[in-house]
Structure 1
Amino acid sequence: MTQSKPMSKGGQSRFAAAQPAKTDGIGERIRARRQVLSLTQGELSEKSGLSTGALSQIERGLVSPTVRTLYTIADVLGMSPAQLIDPEGFASASRANPYVLRASDQPEVLNAGGVMKRRASPELIEKIKSFAVRIAPGGSSGDEFYTHSGEELGYVVSGSFTLQIEDATYLLQAGDGFALPSTIRHRFFNSGESEAFVLWVNKPD
């Protein structure tokens, strides 16, 4: 993997402009889970690093959470982003064949900011999770770095996208692979003109 020059102003513009897309019921599920854990909005704000105002708007369905925000909140609440987005699909897929997850049964675990992510492997092995990730042109994880527990790696099947890890910026193309501890700051975006398709693997703690 080679390091590229810092992204252009055009890349920054697309990266910051990408907006999340799917919010149905997410805010209600966040509030319900927070209440189950006996957390106030203030406590969730402190643990997640998000403002209470932003959390309030998300819980009321007034704004759409970004990829980074979904991961951050889910991590604090001890949930998978999939459980916040589509709990029924998550549960249904988990009850399917423990060894094989057919393409037609792969649940959507994320659809925000031009990033569509489906679980690509069964839940039989909890320590390793693989995902089929599609990043549309202009799509991104959000305009801020994020972190979460565990480790991750990936392989670019087609297209290209930019991965930022701390102060390093990498332009990854088809055939390239990557790996990093999820606890260090990272973000990604697609400033190209075609969709990037990435096989992404996470190893939670």
Structure 2
Amino acid sequence: MSEITKGAQFLLGATLRQLRTAKGMSLQQLADSSGVSVGMISQIERDLANPSMRVLTAIRRALNISLQEMFGEQPDDPVHQGDPAFVRRHEDRPLIDLGLLKKELLTAGGHHHLQIMILRVEPGGVSGNTALSYPAEKGGLILSGELTLTIDGQEANLRTGDSFVFDSSLPHSFRNTGEKPAEILWIIGAVQFDRHL
């Protein structure tokens, strides 16, 4: 079951359903925009399916929502009372649990072109059945464990301490083929549209 955790537990499905209905989109419209089947979206919204990163990214992009909104936050809401807007305290990190993959948001509130997360990938965990691809730049650092990262057909086996940067408009995926969980500092930098013209 997919969950968002932040102090108390919030359900990912309920958050996505609320965001979809707030945008006035039907399940069919979201399916058409995202390329994800109506049945899969319905299962995700009822917390009956663990979506892959590819599916979750496709839905997020079709809804045109920020990463913070997907984590159940409003971009302009203060993350922690009394702190400057650029700070996120450890106890205020929301976590999305997708089964073999967990995403913990580190970025503070507000509208940013840079998103920082910690990904925890259990043995056997993958980003999805098909490669991701959308305009952005991604990078990261393997904090612990091992991860196989594939970018545009090139594969690299990464271990603790290894880092990477790539253009995420290239097809990319990852998987943990090791015997221990992998923890990755994952950074996404939105690409300005004028850079791709």
Band of TM-score, shorter chain? 0.7 to 0.9
CA distance in 2, matches of 1:132, 1:183: 21
Per the alignment, residue 3 of structure 1 pairs with none
Q: Match for residue 183 of structure 1?
A: 169
The aligned residue for residue 185 of structure 2 is: 199
Are 1:83 and 2:76 counterparts?
no
Can you give the 5+ residue segments of structure 2 that lack an aligned partner in the other structure? 5-9, 192-197
TM-score by length of 2: 0.78
Deviation at 1:81, TM superposition (A): 4.5
* TM-score (norm: length of structure 1): 0.76
Which one has a larger percent strand, Structure 1 or Structure 2? Answer: 2
Deviation at 1:43, TM superposition (A): 2.2
Equivalenced residue count is 185
For the 8 Å contact 2:60–2:70, the answer to whether it is kept is yes
Q: In the alignment, what sits opposite 2:93?
A: 106
Displacement after TM superposition at 1:91 (Å): 4.5
132, 137, 146: which one aligns with 1:151:
137
8 Å Cα contact 1:128-1:203 kept in structure 2? yes
Q: Identify if the C-alpha distance between structure 1 residues 116 and 97 changes in structure 2 by more than 3 Å, giving closer, same or farther.
A: farther
Output one character per residue of 1:85-140: Cα deviation in whole Å (capped at 9) or x when no partner: 4438x9552764323333223222x3214222222232357121222222222222
In the superposition, relative to structure 1, how do residues 126 and 52 fare at CA in structure 2: closer, same or farther (>3 Å)? same
Q: Is the 8 A contact 1:94 1:123 kept in 2?
A: no
Where relative contact order (Cα < 8 A, 6+ residues apart) is larger, the structure is 1
More helix by share: 1
Q: How does 1:11-22 map to 2 (within 5 A)?
A: 21-22=2-3
How many Å separate the matches in 2 of 1:125 and 1:150? Answer: 16
Unaligned runs of 5+ in 1: 1-19
Q: CA deviation at 1:172?
A: 0.9
Q: Percent identity?
A: 28
RMSD value, Cα: 2.7
Equivalent-residue separation in structure 2 for 1:172 and 1:68 (angstroms)? 21
